Amino acid sequence: MKENVNRNKLKIIIIIGKDLTQKTIEYMVKHRMREYGENKKDFENNEKDSIFFFLKDGTIIKAFGMLKPVTLYCDAKQYEIMGIGNIMAVEKSKWYGTILMKHIIDYLDNNGYVGMGGTDNPNFTFYEKCGFIFITKLLERFVYVDENTKEHRPEAWDDKMFIFDKNNKLQELIKSNGDIIIKVPLW
């Protein structure tokens, strides 16, 4: 199957969330519905500053993903990261996911960003093969504090956080045991 993918024909398109067309949003929502049976992402209202990546073969989107600027607060310090989310290969096992993630890693690297995402077991191998490092006992420390100062802790205990942090900007945060406060829900 993989031999059929002509990598030279593939191109990556990067779009800021506020510039997404309705058609593109509908495409992502359709595929999220197909994959998960639901879509909890509000692309129009909550992802205006997020950076979207579309891997295209001609005009057809084969994979997509998003980086969301997020501030983490821990031990009286704050850390700017890019939350990795909304990753999907429309056709599976044809390397579209891997090629997409290579572009996303290059983008993080070129801009000196730290990338961080959460996922569950079937995807651990995929992200490891893409070059991400899984950090144990990190997800459990996240606390989303909403506008009413109500605290929400993650419920998906099977998930693990993976990171791209070439310059070790998160080392102190990882070593600490403190809560990691976010003011947006986990992405």
Ligand X SMILES: CC(C)(COP(=O)(O)OP(=O)(O)OC[C@H]1O[C@@H](n2cnc3c(N)ncnc32)[C@H](O)[C@@H]1OP(=O)(O)O)[C@@H](O)C(=O)NCCC(=O)NCCS
Amino acid letter for position 86: N
Torsion region of 140: left, alpha or beta (phi above 0 gives left; psi -120 to 50 gives alpha): alpha
Q: In the complex with ligand X, which residue's Cβ is closer, 17 or 118?
A: 118
Report d(CA 41, CA 38) in Å as an integer.
9
Which CB atom, from 178 or from 185, has the smaller least distance to ligand X?
185
Interface of this chain with ligand X, residues 114 to 173, rule: CB under 6 A: 117, 119, 122-123, 125-126, 129
Residue 37 binding ligand X, by CB under 6 A: no
Cα–Cα dist 170/164, whole Å: 10
d(CA 31, CA 9) in angstroms, rounded, equals 22
Examine residue 46 and tell whether it contacts ligand X (CB under 6 A).
no
User: How far is 177 from 137, CA to CA, in rounded Å?
Assistant: 9
- Closer CB to ligand X, residue 91 or residue 140? 91
CA 152 from centroid of its chain's CA atoms:
20
Residue 94-123 contact track with ligand X, rule CB under 6 A, x = bound: xxxxx------------------x-x--xx
Residue among 90 and 170 whose Cβ is closer to ligand X: 90
| Sole window of 8-16, 66-74, 83-91, 106-114 interacting with ligand X (rule: CB under 6 A) | 83-91
When asked if residue 35 is in the footprint of ligand X (CB under 6 A), the reply is yes
SS3 97: helix
Q: Which residue's CB is nearer to ligand X, number 95 or number 113? A: 95
